[in-house]
Amino acid sequence: MVIVIQCKDQVGLVAAITGVLAKAQINIVSMREHVDTVDNRFFVRIVAEGNSSNAVYLQQQFQAVLPEDADIKVNPIPEKKIAVFVTKEYHCLSDILIRNHFKTLGATVQCVIGNHATLQNICERFDIPFHLVSHEQKEKTDFENELVNIISRYTADYLVLAKFMRILSPGFIKKFAGRIINIHHSFLPAFIGANPYKQAFERGVKLIGATAHFVTDDLDEGPIIAQQIIPVNHSFTAPDMVKAGKEIETAVLAKALHLVLNDKVFVYRNKTVVFE
């Protein structure tokens, strides 16, 4: 089982947590912890062996010994479920579908929702339901209501924006707060918004990158999960940067999904603590 806890830091937290586990005859396999001394915040991720059916009992015991603000999750490493949002670019979606097919994703892809039909065929090849929801000639509210209606048919733990090139409204984001993961084609906070590779080319940068982050009301400014960069030089055209960028986007999104789906990411305010 996996146990993840974050709360206000204070003396004796580790002793209290391990005491609860010892009393329940649960063995700790690994334990990672971090204290944010600036915000006085404690984070811990525990992998343990024991009877996973007593999760409710453990939850109650932890709540009795930890600070009132403690966010506690006890689970037997359930396989998460995700819905994937796409537009026309295939590289991130195809990687997710292949990992899903070979059971290495750490989640089950329940459906793919696209605002263009471009990627419907690849979904059908992997027997994944594809839902076309066009945004054209529609009010944003109507478009997003259609998205919500489709999502409600499933039980997705997370929504993955795999190159979904539409800006979601604050109302939509609020419905799925903390559950929307986006891959952005730049090393944020540089080059937010549209056409970041064009922006990077015009600026003459020597590094380009990609960022996976949770989506918030602030465009491309949500808590960052994972980032990577690669070097470029004066010989790279804007199309060259796009081609190179697609490779790193795929890798960064895959890494971020691995971390999130394995309960290795803690969100606090607009930052994350990541136990890799």
d(CA 224, CA 265): 10
Distance of alpha carbon 228 from alpha carbon 199, whole angstroms: 18
Cα–Cα distance for residue pair 180/216, rounded to 1 Å: 8
Residue tagged 């998460």 (tokens): 80
The structure tokens listed for 64 are: 């009795």
- Beta-bridged to residue 71, according to DSSP, are 6
Q: Is 220 a catalytic residue?
A: yes
Distance of CA 255 to CAs 5, 208, 274, Å?
22, 17, 11
User: Can you tell me which residue has the tokens 């990411």?
Assistant: 265
* C-alpha–C-alpha distance, residues 56 and 193, integer Å: 43
Look-up: residue for tokens 């109507």? 142
Catalytic residue among 69, 218, 220, 240: 220
Task: Name the residues annotated as catalytic.
Answer: 220
